[in-house]
Amino acid sequence: MAGLSIQELLSEKEAGLDLELLAGEHGLDHRIHVPRIQKPGLALAGYTTNLHPDRIQVLGSTELSYLNQLPVETSADNLKQLCGLGVSCFIITKGQSPPDLLIHEVERCGIPLLRTHQQSSTFISLITKFLEERLLPSTTIHGVLVEILGVGVLLLGKSGIGKSECALDLILRGHRLVADDVVKVRMKLPAVLFGEGLDLSHYHMEIRGLGIINIKHLFGVAAIRERKKIDMAIELVEWDDHVEYDRLGLSEQTYSLLGLSIPLLRIPVRHGRNMTSIVEVAARNHVLKEMGYHSALEFQDRLEKRMAEMTRLHAHAIIGDNLE
């Protein structure tokens, strides 16, 4: 899991965190490794058993008013015990002023003390979303991500196999492009994979012989999407006459990304095959499977019942002949 320094958090301007440094500048190199926050109410009262020092500690109106009501000696002792645990940082909400005792203790221990003018509930929502985006595992893969009837389909295959051409044909049919050539994949809690394009190549697609085209400008905003959950992967492979391909759809394959598995189909590419139609039908079939309807399994079940019925009738016929 990646780490994020307090300095990087302080420098973030686009997430709406509105942070400023009040004290503890020497601790700006502290790193955050988990996308969760904590409100240290019990720890301020001296009970630190369930405190998680690696999490950002958020101090709202309740925590600060409680500190101000404590006797000075008790407040100093509790803060000394809390800061001695190696807290990553404190963040005060609603633009409140910190007690002098808190400033003294964070300076002594080298713990950054930040402040935001956001309400506690708003800030917790913003910081949690931001940390999930930055800290959860991510990777980049070579492929094309398209949305077909609400299904996020990741097209895989070696360079030149026809992924971009297939995606372009899907766009002409009314489906949407998420990313071409390089797909940035992030894992989101609890166990979901989301894909998006790189900032530089967003909305762009490379078509050999044509060059770089801008899908947003050519087809409008309805033909693109910023990010999409990856529901399935389709690998385009060259047709090999010596390979026996799945003809019933009973074999279930998976593709592993960031430790998670998604359904995988391998579709052989051959001259004359309409790959766009096959990919579109694969997405439609995935929707049916998600609804609990599996065409191949239903066909197998009907076939087994028919064979069992024919066996039964054949056995009765033999018994009848023997009786005669």
E-strand stretches of 118-259? 138-142, 144-148, 151-156, 176-179, 182-188, 192-197, 204-207, 211-214, 227-229, 232-238, 253-257
Dihedral angle, C-alpha 58, 61, 63, 68, nearest 10 °:
140
- Neighbouring residues of 2: CB distance < 8 A, sequence distance ≥ 6: 33, 134, 135, 137, 138
Question: Of 207, 198, 200, which is closest to residue 171 (Cα–Cα)?
Answer: 207
108 assigned to active site:
no
State how far the Cα of 234 lies from the Cα of 265, in Å rounded to an integer. Answer: 5
Sign of CA dihedral 220, 226, 232, 237: positive
Question: Of 88, 80, 79, which is closest to residue 28 (Cα–Cα)?
Answer: 88
247 assigned to active site:
yes
Which one-letter amino acid corresponds to residue 271? H
Question: Of 288, 294, 305, which is closest to residue 251 (Cα–Cα)?
Answer: 294
Catalytic residue, chosen from 163, 175, 186, 204, is 163
Omega into 190 within 30° of 0, i.e. cis?
A: yes
Start-to-end CA distance of the chain, whole Å, equals: 78
Is residue 195 within 8 A of residue 183, CB to CB? The reply is: yes
241 assigned to active site:
no
169 assigned to active site:
no
Is residue 67 within 8 A of residue 96, CB to CB? The reply is: no
Record the tokens describing residue 114, joined without a space: 């930040």
Catalytic residue, chosen from 26, 142, 173, 316, is 142
Catalytic residue, chosen from 117, 181, 229, 266, is 181
Active site residues: 142, 163, 181, 247
